[in-house]
Amino acid sequence: VEWVFQAGKTREDAPGAAFLTAQLMKGGTESHTAQVIAEKLASYGASLVVAPHLDYTSFTLTTLTKFAEELIPWVTSLFWGATFPEEEVERQRAKKEQAIRIDLEKTSYLATVELRKAVFGAKHMYGQPLDLEGVQALTRNDVKHHHEHYHRNGLQVFISGRVSPSHLKALEAALMSGPEGVVKEVAELLPPTAGAKLNFPKEGVQSTLRIGQQVLPKGHPDFHQFRIAVELLGGYFGARLMQNLREDKGLTYGIYSQIMPLAQGNYLSIGADVKKADVDLALAEVEKEVRLLGTERVSEEELGRVKTQLAGKLLGQMNSPFAHAEVFKGLYYWDLPMSRFRDFFTAIEATTPEVIQKMATTYLKWEDLHAVVVG
């Protein structure tokens, strides 16, 4: 069972409040301490995974079917009745501070932060990382204030497995016992800015590259075929970036290109770790491959491999009840039609070398890409 609350970073008033509030949902209620909650989950062999996100916060309960009818309302009551004991707030805040200190030593983390800042702007929530100052300034009142976003309006619940009417009845009753509220509007994205090359020096022998830009939303008519172009560029082991920078030149252990989905707008991310001495060469080779997509016709053989790769990925997403739930959750969350997968296979079949060229020249121009180097 997964509960998805409209309570992510984009709706917080105090930096870090969304993350800390989510972590504290298992921190205690009027009748249960954090230890009691942990022990009860363990006694049933169940798990409750917390996943704070930029756009939302989700909680996933995994349990045996025979315990679901009892655990579903109990877990739901944790969301409504969290009390945020001061000692738990302090413990989780200290834990997050330590995690941030570790992250700040990683070039990969810093590069991802700076890429999102470049792509979305420092004024938008997507471009504002959670830093030490923000965490240290958080108070219990900030957490309690953010908890006001935990209500049944806008709440999405997904349940999969051997589901019975009694499970649904228990879930409905638990949800209706919760408070009502208003789903806070989030700031719209600013228009994309011109691509820029940004360098952030850091001691060490390794540098991280992150290259990207805002790209098409999932509902755009060209999204499927643009995704195929991105896959061809760096979406699998045999993709062009991997063949060039890893196999041919040995510049990196791995490089990828992928579309990162967000509620307000998707972005493209190309990433790799390289030696400092190889940064300029690596950037030049990425630029070359991006430009080649738009200037040279891809062969039918290479395009066929990419189509097979993507079709296999799609089928792999449907191999279990939990995988089915993830797929349908995505359709619901992104407001996409049930014909989505049929449409994707249709787009795969209809994609020609000329289409790939058009996608590259229209939506993937080197001059529009932000290139971030940390290290």
pLDDT for residue 124: 92
The pLDDT value given to residue 301: 96
Contact 329, 51 (CB under 8 A): no
Characterize 58-67 residue by residue with b for buried, 16 or more Cβ atoms within 10 angstroms of its Cβ, and e for exposed.
Answer: bbbbbbeeee
Residue 17 CB partners (closer than 8 Å, separation 6+) = 138, 142, 143, 145, 146
Chain mean pLDDT for the chain: 94
Residue type (1 letter), 225: Q
Domain 197-374 fold: Cytochrome Bc1 Complex; Chain A, domain 1 (3.30.830)
The model's pLDDT over 112-135, given as tens digits with 9 standing for 90+, comes to 999 999 999 998 999 999 999 999
Q: Which residue, 69, 59, 61, 44, is CA-closest to 164?
A: 69
Contact 326/316 with Cβ under 8 angstroms?
A: no
* Separation of alpha carbons 230 and 223, rounded Å: 10
Give residue-wise pLDDT tens across range 23-71. 999 999 999 999 999 999 999 999 999 999 999 999 999 999 999 999 9
pLDDT score, position 319: 76
* Domains in the chain: boundaries: 2-176, 197-374
pLDDT reported for residue 260: 97
- Is pLDDT of 320 > 80? no
Asked if the domains at 2-176 and 197-374 fall in one CATH topology, the answer is yes
Closest CA to 298 of 367, 226, 229: 229
Q: What is the predicted pLDDT for the residue at 326?
A: 83
Least confident of 124-128, 186-190, 220-224: 186-190
Q: At 213, is the pLDDT very low, low, confident or very high (cuts 50, 70, 90)?
A: very high
| Right CATH for 2-176 from 3.30.499.10, 3.40.50.11900, 3.30.470.20, 3.30.830.10 | 3.30.830.10
With a cut of 90, say whether residue 323 has pLDDT above it. no
Cα dihedral angle (111, 115, 121, 127), rounded to 10 degrees? -60
How far is Cα 145 from Cα 273, in angstroms, rounded to an integer?
40
CA distances from 125 to 8, 258, 339 (A): 10, 21, 32
Total-model pTM: 0.91
Instruction: Report pLDDT digits (tens) over 225-269.
Output: 999 999 999 999 999 999 999 999 999 999 999 999 999 999 999
| pLDDT the model gives residue 333 | 86
Indicate the helix (H) or strand (E) that contains 89. Answer: helix 86-103
Task: Give the rounded percent of residues in the chain with a pLDDT score beyond 90.
Answer: 87
Please say if the pLDDT value at position 283 is more than 80.
Answer: yes
Confidence (pLDDT) at 39: 97
Largest CA distance in the chain: 66
Q: What are phi and psi of 349, to 5 degrees?
A: -65, -35
| SS3 of residue 209 by DSSP | strand
